[in-house]
């Protein structure tokens, strides 16, 4: 069993360079299916989700090879099947982007229902609503596989009943080669949606309005190959910012887009953290002033991101006073709370609210990552504690954080990845 072993109790300091955005990469890589020529994607995060979606494309016949640590060459012209029903597909949530890409390119798709983190119901009804509005027939087969097929996709008007990042992106993919214009209303506005639109447009697509709640896509017949660089990861940056604040450290977060981090920076400033903004970096300094409690309400972008909610919960554990988190995106994102309680946190959950009594003494304890961002919260909590914490289920963390051990070590953290066999342990990568 692989675990992270963290000995905390000292402030972080130094610089950390942020990788490409996971949430953009796992949509842009399937989007290459739409292209009629090879593409090169740069600033790819070296994470397990990227490896999975790359292997899925290879299974379908695409030529996918890694040029270097952060660049992929993808030739989709040899794809020989529209079926993606293997265990690899079931292993990641973002595999549903294969539906929109395959439907847009070939007019048919057969994709297994995805897995990934489990923190609430994630229906894809809005995705299917969009596909059907474009003219596709969809069906659920054996409760585990989605089939979609059409003779011709035709531009249409789609109003999303709820703001859905996945549905917005999937409909964008399918509509990119549909005949005529598609209008998506009540669209999500996250930075990775804008990044997907920019990638599609760089290939010759006609997508306008990304970043607003109305997106217009006029279908085109041909998409040409490009070299494209993915945006920095907003949530990875927010995680290291939280960690610096939680340990009362001072770090510089590099290779970022500060505008994407405004909601996170605003909350840290409210707590008393000094944030200095540069062109592509932020300095996060929590070393001088005592931090204050705050309340957080997660919302679709540009509101506070749900993907930074667990990390802030770990931070607020260290701040005296009562803080309240109101989770407005997912129904069941507080599974991690029981793990923080094992460390001595005083947190109670009432429906969508988590009430945190911060400033209580914490102790090291064995904990597990219940999902990707919860795993990041476990690392942050462990860094606060004078003691050694073992974190299991680290495969969740490695889904979305590149070189997490090396990056935290670069900031002075005492963290290592070990392989446990019975009573023995061996450090990996030592």
Catalytic residue among 39, 117, 150, 250: 117
126 is in an annotated binding site: yes
Is 417 annotated as belonging to a binding site?
A: no
Pairing between strand 281-285 and 250-254? antiparallel
Determine if residue 232 is labeled as part of a ligand binding site: no
Is 179 annotated as belonging to a binding site? no
Evaluated on CA atoms 264, 269, 273, 274, the torsion sign reads: positive
41 carries a ligand binding annotation: no
**122 in a labelled binding site:** yes
Is 415 annotated as belonging to a binding site?
no
For residue 58 the two structure tokens come to: 């290879």
Ligand-binding annotation for 331, yes or no, is no
Q: Catalytic annotation on 117?
A: yes
Residue 22 marked as a ligand binder: yes
**Residue 66 labeled ligand binder:** no
- Annotation: binding site for phosphoenolpyruvate: 22-23
- Annotation: binding site for UDP-N-acetyl-alpha-D-glucosamine: 93, 122-126, 307, 329
- Annotation: binding site: 22-23, 93, 122-126, 307, 329
Residues catalogued as catalytic: 117
């Amino acid at each position: 069993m692989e675990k992270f072993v963290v000995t905390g109790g000292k402030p972080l300091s130094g610089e950390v360079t942020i990788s490409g955005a996971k949430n953009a990469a796992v949509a842009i890589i399937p989007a290459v299916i739409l292209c009629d020529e090879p593409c090169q994607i740069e600033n790819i995060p070296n994470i397990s989700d990227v490896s999975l979606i790359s292997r899925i494309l290879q299974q379908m016949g695409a030529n996918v090879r890694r040029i270097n640590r952060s660049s992929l060459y993808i030739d989709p012209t040899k794809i020989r099947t529209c079926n993606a029903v293997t265990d690899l597909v079931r292993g990641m949530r973002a595999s549903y982007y294969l539906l929109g890409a395959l439907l847009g390119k070939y007019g048919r798709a057969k994709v297994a229902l995805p897995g990934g983190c489990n923190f609430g119901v994630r229906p894809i009804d809005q995705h299917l609503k969009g596909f059907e509005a474009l003219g596709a027939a969809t069906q659920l087969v054996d409760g585990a596989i989605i089939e979609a097929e059409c003779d011709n996709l035709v531009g249409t008007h789609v109003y999303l009943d709820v703001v859905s990042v996945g549905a917005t992106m999937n409909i964008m993919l399918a509509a990119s080669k549909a005949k005529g214009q598609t209008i998506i209303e009540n669209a999500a506005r996250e930075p990775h949606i804008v990044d997907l639109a920019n990638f599609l447009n760089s290939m010759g697509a006609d997508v306008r309005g990304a970043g607003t709640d109305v997106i217009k896509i006029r279908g085109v017949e041909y998409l040409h190959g490009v070299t494209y660089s993915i945006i920095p990861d907003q949530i990875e940056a927010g995680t290291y910012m939280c960690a610096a604040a939680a340990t009362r450290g001072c770090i510089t977060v590099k290779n970022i887009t500060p505008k994407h981090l405004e909601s996170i920076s605003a909350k840290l400033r409210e707590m008393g953290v000094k944030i200095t903004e540069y062109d592509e970096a932020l300095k996060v300094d929590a070393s001088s002033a005592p931090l204050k409690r705050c309340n957080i309400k997660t919302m679709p972008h540009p509101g506070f991101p749900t993907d930074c909610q667990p990390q802030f919960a770990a931070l607020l554990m260290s701040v005296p006073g009562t803080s309240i988190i109101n989770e407005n995106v997912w129904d069941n994102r507080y599974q991690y709370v029981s793990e923080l309680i094992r460390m001595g946190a005083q947190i109670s959950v009432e429906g969508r609210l988590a009430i945190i009594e911060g400033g209580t003494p914490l102790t090291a304890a064995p904990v597990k990552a219940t999902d990707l961002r919860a795993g990041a919260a476990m690392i942050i909590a462990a860094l606060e504690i004078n003691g050694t914490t073992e974190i299991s289920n680290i495969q969740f963390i490695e889904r979305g954080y590149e070189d997490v051990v090396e990056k935290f070590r670069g900031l002075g953290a005492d963290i290592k990845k070990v392989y446990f066999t019975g009573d023995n342990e061996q450090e990996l990568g030592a």
